[in-house]
């Protein structure tokens, strides 16, 4: 079973970041997601934002590649995971 590594770039008091966390929690029930969170208030978080051209939080990186920023679409994420044939969690 292949684990999908997700990096979530968040900011303090960010409603869209809370929404992204909820989406990832729901999708994580069906897919094997390993979610790591980094704050954009840290040097590492800012560096990831710049390196992956994330305009504003929340930023979502999947397996080290930029996936989205702003409001995370659960539908888009599920389609992406299904298309890359990510295995379902047992």
The residues spanned by each domain of the chain are 4-83
Correct CATH for 4-83 of 3.40.30.10, 1.10.30.50, 3.90.1010.10, 2.60.120.920: 3.40.30.10
Phi, psi (rounded to 5 degrees) for 72: -80, 125
Averaged pLDDT, 58-70: 96
pLDDT of amino acid 25: 97
Averaged pLDDT, 48-53: 94
Mean pLDDT of the residues in the chain: 92
Kindly tell me if the per-residue pLDDT of 86 is higher than 70. no
Kindly tell me if the per-residue pLDDT of 22 is higher than 90. yes
DSSP character at residue 87: P
pLDDT of amino acid 85: 67
């Amino acid at each position: 079973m292949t684990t999908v590594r997700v990096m979530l770039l968040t900011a303090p008091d960010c409603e869209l970041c809370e929404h992204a966390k909820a989406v990832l929690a729901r999708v994580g029930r069906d897919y094997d997601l390993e979610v790591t969170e980094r704050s954009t208030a840290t040097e590492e978080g800012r560096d990831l934002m710049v390196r992956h051209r994330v305009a504003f939080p929340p930023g979502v990186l999947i397996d080290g590649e930029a996936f989205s920023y702003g409001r995370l679409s659960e539908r888009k994420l599920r389609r992406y995971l299904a298309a890359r044939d990510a295995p379902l969690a047992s």
